[in-house]
Amino acid sequence: MDQVKGEPESPSRLIDRRIEELADWRGETLARLRAIIRQADPDIVEEWKWRGVPVWEHDGIICTGETYKAAVKMTFAKGASLPDPAGLFNSSLEGNTRRAIDVHEGEAIDEAALTALVQAAVALNTAKRPKKKK
């Protein structure tokens, strides 16, 4: 056991465990998406929220990684504000803020486009916001 007795496990370890528990294409897909996210932004922070959802943050939420029977869903918190020239977003398209990518079994992942999307989300979160005039 790699945790001190009485202390909660780290979010990264909880995500590791989720990937191990899935033990199928969904676990492999979540692990691959996670690797792309972490490579796209080495300063990304992993969190574990809402009773078991992996979340990646950098000055706010970048995206989540939910797993369902038929898909692994990456939901970008500010996806509607991000450029998506490769057309990765294929879910939650009707909202004003979020956008999602559903990855199904056997689908290829466009790593370059996903890397660019993660980096754009980080840039959006870290951009200096104009100060409101009083």
Model confidence pLDDT, tens digit, residues 21-57: 998 999 999 999 999 999 999 999 999 998 899 999 9
What is the model's pLDDT at position 1? 43
Model confidence pLDDT, tens digit, residues 87-128: 999 999 988 899 999 999 999 999 999 999 999 999 999 997
Alpha helices in 5-84 (DSSP H): 11-22, 25-40
| Distance in angstroms between the alpha carbons of the first and the last residue of the chain | 54
What is the model's pLDDT at position 8? 77
Task: Give the Cα separation of 32 and 47 in Å (integer).
Answer: 17
Report pTM.
0.88
